[in-house]
Amino acid sequence: MEDIGKGAYAMKADFKMSFDDDAWGHTMNWLFHIADELYHNRETPVPEAWRFRPSPLGPINEPDEWETTIVQAATDEELVSFGNLLNRYARALKYAGKDY
C-alpha cells in the first residue's frame, strides 16, 4: 500500500468528517483549496488533469478557514496525491450525473 503521508491522511479524514449531502460541491471545494495552495504558494505545478484555472481575483484560501490550515501543513507530494484522488472521485461523480 502506498504511503500517502500524514498530511494526506489529515486531508482525507477532514474531507470525510465534513462531508455533506453535496458530494460534487464538497469535492470541488477541497480540490480548489489544494490547487490554490499549489498554484500560489508552492513550486510544484498543479497537474493539468485537474483543469484548474486560478481565480482572476487572487487566492481563495482564507487564513481563517480550516481547509487552508490543513492544506498548508501538507507537503507538495501529499497535496498532489490527495488532489489526484479527488480528481478521480470528481470524474466518477460527473459520470454518474452528480455534477452541476
Q: pLDDT, tens digit, for every residue of 87-97? A: 999 999 999 99
pLDDT band at 80 (very low <50, low <70, confident <90, very high): very high
Q: Per residue in 57-72, pLDDT tens? A: 877 777 667 778 888 8
Q: Per residue in 15-39, pLDDT tens? A: 888 888 899 999 999 999 999 999 9
The pLDDT of residue 20 is 83
Q: 3-state SS string over the chain?
A: CCCCHHHHHHHHHHHHHCCCCCHHHHHHHHHHHHHHHHHHHCCCCCCHHHCCCCCCCCCCCCCCCHHHHHHHHCCHHHHHHHHHHHHHHHHHHHHCCCCC
